[in-house]
Structure formats: C-alpha cells, structure tokens
Amino acid sequence: MTSANDNHETILVVDDEAVVLSLVASILKDGGYAVLCARNGEEAVQIASRHEGSIDLVLTDIVMPGMNGGELVRQLLLLKSEIHVLYMSGYTKYAVVSQGVLESVNSFIWKPFSPSTLLLKVREVLNSPPGNA
C-alpha cells in the first residue's frame, strides 16, 4: 500500500457543502496530497485556470447549484486535458442519472464514504488513464 509520503499529486476538490469540502480536503491532506478547494464549478474553473502547476485529479460533487459536475469536468478537460476525474454524490442514482453524468462515468464514489475508501478510490483513479470520464 502507498504511504502518505509517496503521494505527490494535486487534487482539486469541488463541493457546495462546506462541511463535506472541509472533511474531504482534510482526508486527502492527511493522505499526503496537495489539495485545492472550490465551493462550486465556476470557482473550480477559475482556480484551475490560475493554478500554475498540474492538477492531477478533480474530485467533484455531481449535483451542485449552477454548474453541475459533468459540465465542470467538460470545462476542466479543455484547460487541462490530462486531468483524472472522480465524481461523488450523496443523491439517489435517479438524481445523478438526471444530471447526465452517471452513465458515462467509470470513476464514481457514493457519499458517505470512509477515509480509507476515499483514499483507495483516489489512488485507483490516479493509477488509471487520465480524462476517463
């Protein structure tokens, strides 16, 4: 298993719920990742366009006010084509499918999740080909 010190990737976490955003960021930082946080899709696009280094993974909620996770990923892939994608949601499968994302997603995690489940899923996605949304 990878130790926290082996992780060097940068992850952009996007969630409109402040508590979830903070908790996920904390888990990832404890796992050794550099973390950028955004409260919505628009803010995430701004952060990604200004960030000079690489962003290896976007971990985004699917159902958010304004820009949903699927639209966010489409915009981020235009900016950073090598980005990995991991979607998350606490909504029902029906609500997620209605956002037009789930049927095309290989990388997905349902909320709530444990810290170890999140870290394992993040590593799995980072080890897969980028842009696999």
pLDDT in tens, 72-109: 999 999 998 899 999 998 765 555 555 555 544 568 88
On whether residue 133 sits in a domain, the answer given is: no
Closest to 14 (Cα-Cα) out of 22, 6, 4: 22
pLDDT in tens, 14-23: 999 999 999 9
Query: What CA–CA distance (Å, rounded) separates 4 from 130?
Result: 21
On whether residue 130 sits in a domain, the answer given is: no
Assess contact for 63 and 96: CB atoms under 8 A: yes
Number of domains in the chain: 1
Q: Is the pLDDT of residue 8 over 60?
A: yes
On whether residue 32 sits in a domain, the answer given is: yes
Residue 45: band (very low, low, confident or very high) from pLDDT cuts 50, 70, 90:
very high
Element (H, E) at 45: helix 41-50
Tell me what the mean pLDDT of segment 30-51 comes to.
Answer: 97
Q: Domain limits at 106?
A: 4-125
Query: What CA–CA distance (Å, rounded) separates 124 from 133?
Result: 14
Per-residue model confidence (pLDDT) at position 108 = 84
On whether residue 15 sits in a domain, the answer given is: yes
Per-residue model confidence (pLDDT) at position 2 = 44
On whether residue 131 sits in a domain, the answer given is: no
On whether residue 132 sits in a domain, the answer given is: no
Task: Give the domain CATH number at 74.
Answer: 3.40.50.2300
Per-residue model confidence (pLDDT) at position 96 = 52
Per-residue model confidence (pLDDT) at position 47 = 97
On whether residue 8 sits in a domain, the answer given is: yes
Per-residue model confidence (pLDDT) at position 3 = 47
Name the percent of the chain lying above pLDDT 90: 65
- Which two structure tokens, joined as six digits, stand for 26? 């904390």
Per-residue model confidence (pLDDT) at position 116 = 97
